[in-house]
Amino acid sequence: MLDLGCAAGLLGEELRRRGVATVVHGVELDPLAAAEAETRLDRVWTANLEASPVTFVEPPYDVIVAADVLEHMRDPWEMARQIRGLLAPNGQLVASLPNIRFVRVVLPLVIRGRFDYADSGVLDRTHLRFFTRSSMMEFFDQAGFSVELITRAPMIWRRGWKAAIARVLGDFATEQLLIRARVTP
């Protein structure tokens, strides 16, 4: 498994602990986080994924994780194509992307004409690209992937009546979508 933007390596470490992955590599931009990830993963590279082609890793990978990564890139389409080339023939990409159709984005835009960036969330100041469920599907299709699953990320505040409202609102109550896609033959 290759974890792009692995931070301190906690996800890869947990997936190995659960037996989901046996060998986990990571790529991380922040040198301090990469140094910490090196204590948890089998191999870690400190690199800017957009600075040059990702030729320094050790493909093929059965799974590549791009959690909270693609929306920060100037050209996520190119990165998705590179990911496809790093995967084994039946390899999978697991990604998470913020959903711009989220009610906390849509209502201020429609009602007040506001699209205000924030320190975190869907309108994080560092997000360069925005997606909805349908544009995510199109994005992965254009990059040579078949989307097998697209689901709403769990939100811990959804309990009781809030969970019931979220079910009714669907993607409008969804801050982030999780995608599992397979390389299209």
Question: Taking a C-beta distance cutoff of 8 angstroms, is the pair 2, 63 a contact?
Answer: yes
Q: Which residue has the higher pLDDT, 161 or 118?
A: 118
- DSSP annotation of 110 reads I
Q: What range defines the domain where residue 179 resides?
A: 2-183
Residue 12 backbone phi and psi in degrees, to 5: -60, -40
3 state DSSP class of 167: helix
Q: How many distinct structural domains can be found in the chain?
A: 1
pLDDT in tens, 147-163: 999 988 866 666 676 77
CB atoms within 10 A of CB 172: 16
Cα(4)–Cα(19) distance, integer angstroms: 19
User: Domain of 172: which CATH number?
Assistant: 3.40.50.150
Cα(173)–Cα(134) distance, integer angstroms: 16
Share of the chain above pLDDT 90, in %: 84
pLDDT band at 167 (very low <50, low <70, confident <90, very high): confident
pLDDT in tens, 5-23: 999 999 999 999 999 999 9
